[in-house]
Chains A and B, each alone.
Chain A
Amino acid sequence: MSILVYTENREGKFKKQSFELVSYAHALAQLAGREVIALSVGEVADDELKQLGEYGASRIIAIDYSGHLESRNFSKLIHHWVGALGPDIVLFADNNTGKSLAGGVAARLKAGVVSGVSGLPISMEPFILSKMVYTGKVNAQIQINTHHKVVLLAGNSFGVHTNPVTSIIEHHNIVAELASPSSELLSTEMQKGKILLSEAEVVVSGGRGMKGPENWGPIEELAGLLGAATACTRPVSDEGWRPHTEHVGQTGKVINPNIYFAFGISGAIQHVAGVSRSKVIVAVNKDPEAAIFSVADYGIVGDVNQALPQLIAAAKTLKDNA
């Protein structure tokens, strides 16, 4: 039996999340006595495909395709390969792409699907996974009852680990039966250096305590030094200080970076709902009683205007010494 991993690439380069996913699949394969098969769709060179072997994929199925596949057809394609290869576990990264494909694959397989999974299964028989529910307030153990199991791994939850194996690369064209497309990708607008908030490993965020949009320079500078995405609280985006795409919380985005920096953020429950799945939370607030300190791992009681320059200087030193 095998585990099938959908490994996403962007412009021919695998995303780090794909390597994390293969590392996870490898660990799962050890537990379950399975082979790890990676499925790649797009124009990816053999040198790049070979990298999947470094993390534990012993068989790499490369579907050479240069166009845009709409999600319905993408799911059909993956479903076809599940049929052809016979895995019982199908893995996706829990990101925008994984979320748009996993449900369609699971529906076609009549398989149980669990998203936001962190860590290896608690048990293989029955197959039980753990994740957070109720906006991070509760831990849940979810059992999948079906033969096929579709799992979406939360980003940054397992890490990238090398497990070099000898791997075989097989190239294929699309052979699955697809529907005639009902949508078209009109345009893609890329912003250089912009990190997608929901995929970022480090997030630097500011609240009303930053006092105004003109004070965001240091937040962006620190983010730049740490390779981080920037975020904000709802009032900050409501005021138009920052774009609404940065708003995190109950009504904004839900994120799970390795580290979340909260500058001048009080830590209201609706805000924390969006960030409580972060591994480490750092808070800087002048009010020692601020609620954010009760969810933070590291804190500074003080003025953001004094703390930020010191943090920037220290981050520069760290970067220079790296």
Chain B
Amino acid sequence: MKILVCISNVPDTTTRIAIGPDGKSISTAGIQWIINPWDELALTRALELKDVGRVTEVVVANVGPTLTEATLRKALATGADRALRVNTEPTDAWSVAINLAELIKNEAFDVILCGIESSDHNGSVVGGLLAGILDMNIISSVSGLDIEGDTLKVQREIAGGKELHETSAPVVLVVQKGIALAPRIPSMRGIMMARTKPLLTSDPVSSEPMTATAQLFMPKAKGACRMVDAENAGDLIRLLHEEAKVI
């Protein structure tokens, strides 16, 4: 089986975010870019399955400008076999999805892994759009994946429990924590090898933006934390009930 892991390039969570002069995008100065955490877990599981011989090739793909190559190289250093990059600054989730779909139309993948959300726009929709465009089945909120011969065993969390699905390829899986427990980290050897692994760039297909960011702004600063005396902790419950009205 051949797996495609869709990789979103996002600012590290610890980076301070500042809004750019256009008021619609963030200022990229000084940002540390990382593999979107859930994509990193997806990649980790794909590599684990390759280690045990269930997967023949792990390919990573990103829709993004040259800047994202460092992130793709990190995925290669972690163990992916090759990388694909569609050279464009995505305007919205739709532009990401149609460009990923184009890659998948050109080359058959058995399993396409997307993260549950990308920690930049927190869109949560690329996987669903992609499956819709390709008319493939999709299983979301996946927290476990195993491959047995030609079938995939997929576990997902639902309200009050979990479900086990069996599916044939091709399929889009939208994954969350649980798919892997901790991200795999590149080894020294992996970093050396990554330099010579293929990273192919292709041109985007054109698309009309379906959505656009009209404005970004910083949320109002939170009011001071209201302190309750430790000797009188029970009073907190009363405040939550009477004042905040949340319990």
Contact = CB atoms under 8 A, between A and B. Distances in A.
| A, B from the same assembly | yes
Contacts of B189: none
B19 A138 contact: yes
A138 B17 contact: yes
A103 B121 contact: no
B30 interface: no
Contacts of B138: 71-72, 100, 103-104
Contacts of A110: 210
A251 to B, nearest CB: 5
B125 to A, nearest CB: 5
Contacts of A182: 137, 167-168, 171
Nearest to B128: A103
A43 interface: no
Interface string B71-102: 00000000000000000000011100100000
A275 to B, nearest CB: 13
A38 interface: no
Interface stretch (B46-54, B62-70, B217-225): B217-225
Contacts of A84: none
B230 A115 contact: no
Interface string B19-45: 100000010000000000110010000
B195 interface: no
Contacts, number: 301
Interface in A162-205: 179, 181-191, 194-196, 198-199, 202
Nearest to A186: B164
> Which of A238, A294, A310: most chain B CB closer than 10 A?
A310
Given A72-B137, A100-B128, A273 B13 contact: yes
A279 B246 contact: yes
A283 interface: yes
A185 B227 CA distance: 49
A20 B245 CA distance: 17
Interface in A256-294: 258-259, 269-270, 273, 279-280, 282-284, 293-294
Given A131-B122, A244-B181, A296-B225, A107 B160 contact: no
Interface in B183-219: 183, 208-219
Contacts of B244: 259, 280, 297-298
Contact of A72 (B136, B156, B157, B241): B136
Interface string B109-144: 000000011011111111111111101111111010
Contacts of A279: 246
A190 B158 CA distance: 9
Contact of A146 (B120, B121, B210): B210
Contacts of B133: 107
Closest 3 CB pairs of A and B: A103-B128, A107-B132, A302-B230
Given A103-B130, A296-B225, A311-B237, 15 more contacts: A99-B116, A100-B174, A104-B128, A106-B210, A137-B218, A143-B214, A179-B137, A186-B165, A196-B160, A199-B159, A245-B177, A269-B14, A297-B223, A297-B244, A299-B227
Interface of B: 11, 13-14, 17, 19, 26, 37-38, 41, 92-94, 97, 116-117, 119-133, 135-141, 143, 153-154, 156-168, 171, 174, 176-178, 181-183, 208-219, 222-223, 225-230, 232-241, 244, 246-247
